[in-house]
Structure 1
Amino acid sequence: KAKKRLILLDYDGTLVNFRANPNSARPTKAVYSTIEKLCKEQKNKVVIISGRDKETLGKWFGSYKIDLIAEHGAWHKSVEGEWVQFNHLNVEWKTSLTPLIQQFVDRTPGSFMEEKNYSLAWHYRKTDPGLAEIRKHELIEQLSHFITGKSLQVMEGNKVLEVKNDEINKGKATLRLIKNNTFDFILAIGDDHTDEDTFKALPDNATTLKVGFSETAAKYNINAVENVIALLQKMASA
């Protein structure tokens, strides 16, 4: 019976299943219809909070009455608003890191590098699992040396390693959202390490769900994307 609900949703692995090519993991009809139903209720503030770049999120969801948070909190687009940067961060480090990641792309068939505004990511979903595990540990070791003394962080996601400014994370973005706002119900759903920052940032009375059964700060687990959609559809009808 809440009068003001905040619904925080990760995208990949939460609203859609992972694909070998991230560009193929487009929103399904079920995702769009669910978002549309949730938006019809004025009491709902729906936020997609993702590591995706703002161009992709804007293309997929820009016409819906929801907030979008891109690149783990680097960019925020409110309903009817324009994209706003968290702050202007130094990205000169990307120039010197790009050749290192490219070396791993060249040595690891099936992997590729993705450049975002404030981060660089190495994807290895299409790589042979045995080789991917070896290369991942090699790259983590080299990245740990690279980031020493810099305001950077290495994040391990689902078949991806990402280096970003450490001032940016979903937890800080979440805190900015709830500051000066009073919600009598908060729901957050996510599936990987980056979403743990969201779970930890929320007040104790928030409902937090982890997709999958790995260790988590979330209060509850939900086993699959399909169950997430079913839950949200049920909420939209309540």
Structure 2
Amino acid sequence: MPDLPDDVHSALIDVARVPRLLVASDFDGTVAPIVSNPGDARPIPAAAEALAALATLPSTSAALISGRALRDLRVLSGAPDVVHLVGSHGSEFDAGFLDAIDDSAKALLAELEQTMTALTRRYPGATVEIKPVSVAFHVRNADPGHAQQALDDALNAVRDWDIHITEGKAVREFAVIDTDKGAALDQLRQAAEANAVVFFGDDVTDEKAFARLTDDDIGVKVGPGDTLARYRVDSPDDVAAALSVLLHARSR
């Protein structure tokens, strides 16, 4: 495993001593490397094993908070039941969530799917991901020279709609209800009665979670880019190393 930056290593050792700890992470780009085909994403085994082991320790909770639909996150992560799973950018805490949105929201979701699917015919390589409360328009595999235009056209197509828009890496997501990873992290913190939280994230959407962290918490940004997190590592391999450090320190 790679060596962690000294400041990250020290911070993890310190936070491992709190009475009750919550360890949470995004999925893609953090515990799982980014891949061209979203369906091929899988967690680094060492990261998955460490997170699951942390969740079995006394007074310790673990979670994955992802933009993925909960059903997909459950399959791709392979996480055991002891790890809490939160999908759709924090709005999906259970499999029956779709029943909680009303008929008008469901109709709007269907219209979003039709609109974004039509755009993929204009931009080869662009794809649409359908989730319980949102539609994500991906351009990771589109012609790089037209990717930004595709994203802009997707935004312009629904500019006057009553929807919530989330920016990500090579993706725009359009939701029929407001979603927020930060609010989800707060709910998990409260349920765990955690004295401190460790959160790993790599994307723009993870900044809302970093924004909720306190001075007692540890936020770790994975990769480049502006961030509210106090600490940074380079890659998912570093996240695996960080989780292993936490596990070893908290197991003592």
Taking structure 2 as the reference length, the TM-score comes to 0.83
Q: Deviations over 1:93-152 (max 9, x none)?
A: 12222232122100111111111110001111111211112212222233323x2xx2x2
The higher relative CO (CA closer than 8 Å, separation ≥ 6) is in 2
**In 2, are the aligned partners of 1:143 and 1:154 still within 8 Å (CA)?**
no
Aligned residue number for residue 4 of structure 2: none
Shift of 1:199: 1.2
Deviates more, 1:191-200 or 1:24-33: 24-33
Taking structure 1 as the reference length, the TM-score comes to 0.88
CA distance in 1, matches of 2:204, 2:99: 23
For these two proteins, the number of residue pairs brought into alignment is 229
Matches within 5 A, 1:169-208: 169-179=180-190, 181-208=192-219
Aligned residue number for residue 30 of structure 1: 46
Shift of 1:11: 0.2
SS at match of 1:231: helix
Shift of 1:91: 2.5
Change over 3 Å in CA distance of 1:183–1:210 after alignment to 2: same
CA distance in 1, matches of 2:211, 2:31: 21
Aligned residue number for residue 13 of structure 1: 29
Aligned residue number for residue 121 of structure 2: 106
Deviates more, 1:31-40 or 1:121-130: 31-40
Matches within 5 A, 1:47-126: 47-59=63-75, 60-77=77-94, 83=95, 85=97, 88-89=100-101, 90-126=105-141
Amino acid at match of 2:195: D
Change over 3 Å in CA distance of 1:174–1:86 after alignment to 2: farther
CA distance in 2, matches of 1:235, 1:161: 33
Aligned residue number for residue 80 of structure 1: none
CA distance in 2, matches of 1:164, 1:198: 18
Structure 2 residue runs of 5 or longer lacking an equivalent are: 1-16
CA distance in 2, matches of 1:230, 1:189: 12
Q: Deviations over 1:59-111 (max 9, x none)?
A: 3335341111011122215xxxxx46398232321222223212210011111
CA distance in 1, matches of 2:212, 2:108: 28
Amino acid at match of 2:83: I
Q: Deviations over 1:149-192 (max 9, x none)?
A: x2x21112122111013422111212222236532221111111
SS at match of 1:175: helix
Deviates more, 1:180-189 or 1:104-113: 180-189
Change over 3 Å in CA distance of 1:28–1:66 after alignment to 2: same
Structure 1 residue runs of 5 or longer lacking an equivalent are: 78-82
Residue among 240, 244, 251 paired with 1:229: 240
Residue among 146, 155, 165 paired with 1:131: 146
CA distance in 2, matches of 1:237, 1:179: 25
Matches within 5 A, 1:38-53: 38-53=54-69
Amino acid at match of 1:27: P
Change over 3 Å in CA distance of 1:43–1:212 after alignment to 2: same
Change over 3 Å in CA distance of 1:210–1:86 after alignment to 2: farther
Residue among 14, 20, 24 paired with 1:4: 20
**In 1, are the aligned partners of 2:52 and 2:83 still within 8 Å (CA)?**
no
Bigger proportion of residues as strand: 1
Amino acid at match of 2:97: Q
**In 2, are the aligned partners of 1:74 and 1:87 still within 8 Å (CA)?**
no
SS at match of 1:47: strand
SS at match of 2:165: strand
